[in-house]
Structures are given as C-alpha cells and as structure tokens.
Amino acid sequence: MWRRAASLSPFISSSGSLIRNHQTAYNFKIWESFTTEIPTQVKGGKGPFICFVLGGPGSGKGTQCAKIVKNYGLTHLSAGELLRREIASNSEYGTTILNTIKEGKIVPSEVTVSLIQKEMESSDSKKFLIDGFPRSEENRAAFERIMGAEPDIVLFFDCPEEEMVNRVLNRNEGRVDDNIDTVRKRLQVFKALNLPVINYYARRGKLYTINAVGTVDEIFEQVRAVFAALKLVTE
Ligand SMILES: Nc1ncnc2c1ncn2[C@@H]1O[C@H](COP(=O)(O)OP(=O)(O)O)[C@@H](O)[C@H]1O
Ligand SMILES: Nc1ccn([C@@H]2O[C@H](COP(=O)(O)OP(=O)(O)O)[C@@H](O)[C@H]2O)c(=O)n1
Ligand SMILES: [Mg+2]
C-alpha cells in the first residue's frame, strides 16, 4: 500500500519543506518538491522503480547509496563506477572517458546511458538506485529517449562546496579526479549543468532534498524518512 509522504514523516512537513530549518547550500527552493502532491501510486506502469541520486562531488552519494542498498535492497548503479570500469577494461571508449574524467567534464551521454542500459537489462531487479546520473540535461534527455523511462524519485544530497572539497581531497581511493584542480572544475560543471537538472525534478515534484552535512547516520535518517514515507521499496 502506498500513502502520501506528507502525513507520515517527521521530516516532511505538509507546508512542503523536507528538512525543517535547513538552509540549502545552493539556496535551493526545496519547497518546490512538495507543491505537487505525490501521486497516489508510486509505480503505475510496468517498468522498474528508478531512483536517481544527485549531488556535487563528495556530497556523499556513494556512501548513502551503500546504506540504501543494505536497508532497502535496491540495485546500485553508479555512473562513475561504470565509467571507471570501462576505462579499466580497455574498451574502445576508455581513453576518451579517462580524459573527460580528468578534466571533470561529462562523458557523452550515449556512452553512459548505454552502460546503464546494459546493467539494467541484464538484471532481474525491479528497483534501481542510479547514482551520479543524470549530470546534465543532455544525460537526462538521452536516458529518457533510450530507456523510455523517467525516475520515480530523485534524491539530492545538498552540501556546501568547501565540505565537498574537503571530503574529495580526503577520499583516498586513488581516483585521477580527486585533486584540487579537477574538483574545482567539477564544481563548476555541477553548478552549470547539474543544478538545472535538479531544478527540473523539483518542478516535477520528484525531488527530495537531503541536508548532506552531519554524520553518515544522521544523513541516512533523512533518507530513511523519505523511503519510509513513500513505503515503496520495502514490500
Ligand atoms: N557525512 C559524511 N561526513 C564526512 N565524510 C563523509 C560523509 N559521507 C561521506 N563521507 C566521505 O566523503 C568522501 C566522499 O563520499 P562519497 O560517498 O564518495 O561521495 P560522492 O559519491 O558524492 O562523491 C568519502 O571519503 C566518504 O567516506
Ligand atoms: N553521468 C555521469 C557520471 C559521471 N561522469 C564522469 O565521472 C566522474 C566521476 O563521477 P562520480 O559520480 O564517480 O563522482 P562523485 O560525484 O561520486 O565524486 C565525473 O566527474 C564525470 O567526469 C560523467 O561523465 N557522467
Ligand atoms: Mg560517488
């Protein structure tokens, strides 16, 4: 059974703000997410449930996705991981992808969507967590065109820039893009190309903005509130 979020979660007020007293890092209009009532059925059609996970570099997407997987059993597809795997496999696109990532730019959408498509089509899962995608309007349009699907919900991990920079520089995963020059570029790309996508989903009433400052567990409590309120993936 699916119920409206507004009446269920302490984090989601009926006046429309997801996290009370939360000043967003990008002066984001989080109330927009709730000006549209959430549909009475989360998944009306035949396709799988799709949750996009967005946020700047180092905002904690991957960390929170791991907890979502553990608690709710969604299948996690990280666009960045799929691209890094492609580089490691010496595919024909490997060099282009590597150079694009080093520059902090966005890999052509057809490449990324086809990697996501392959994973989704070879999986039996009915619920996907797609992390770090769509990074641009072009990504978004390509996914809709190629997959013929839209996300059911979008989580946005909203984090101040300096916090993101600190986290990335301390990530220690040996990534070619975790250095100060590339991070600065990625932040510019995030603001120029990804914020418009986030705004788009806010206007569509699909966006859930999470305050990404705090401990991992504190942040996950906000995520839990969204999933609990939607009652969509635990049954
Ligand atoms: N709430 C948090 N507070 C401090 N550090 C965090 C938090 N969440 C994640 N991190 C750390 O910050 C870095 C970036 O997190 P990650 O999940 O990889 O972010 P993203 O996927 O958005 O780039 C990692 O080293 C991670 O361990
Ligand atoms: N949809 C995507 C996702 C990632 N990428 C590339 O992969 C890089 C790393 O993405 P990521 O999602 O692993 O990075 P984080 O935000 O997790 O730090 C991005 O900076 C882009 O260069 C892309 O081009 N298109
Ligand atoms: Mg990540």
- The string of pLDDT tens digits covering residues 101-112 is 999 999 999 999
Whether ligand 1 lies within 6 angstroms of the CB of 53 is answered as no
Nearest protein CA to atom 14 of ligand 1, as residue: 58
pLDDT in tens, 26-64: 866 543 444 333 333 344 557 999 999 999 999 999 999
At which residue do the structure tokens 């990324």 appear? Answer: 112
pLDDT value, residue 211: 98
- What's the CA-to-centroid distance between 197 and ligand 1, angstroms? 22
Nearest protein CA to atom 16 of ligand 1, as residue: 60
Q: What percent of the chain is modeled with pLDDT above 70?
A: 80
The alpha carbon dihedral of 142, 126, 197, 191 has a sign of: negative
Instruction: Name the burial class of residue 61, with classes exposed (0-12), middle (13-18) and buried (19+) by CB atoms within 10 angstroms of its CB.
Output: buried
Residue 229 reports pLDDT greater than 60: yes
- What's the CA-to-centroid distance between 216 and ligand 1, angstroms? 8
pLDDT in tens, 124-176: 999 999 999 999 999 999 999 999 999 999 999 999 999 999 999 999 999 99
Residue 2 reports pLDDT greater than 50: no
At which residue do the structure tokens 């549209």 appear? Answer: 36
Phi-psi region of 90 (alpha: psi -120 to 50; beta: other; left: phi over 0): left
Average pLDDT of the residues in 170-198: 98
pLDDT value, residue 25: 82
d(CA 51, CA 92): 29
Q: Which atom of ligand 2 is nearest to the CA of 139?
A: 1
Residue 234 reports pLDDT greater than 50: no
pLDDT value, residue 102: 98
Q: Which amino acid is at 150?
A: E
**Average pLDDT score, the chain:** 86
Q: Which atom of ligand 2 is nearest to the CA of 84?
A: 7
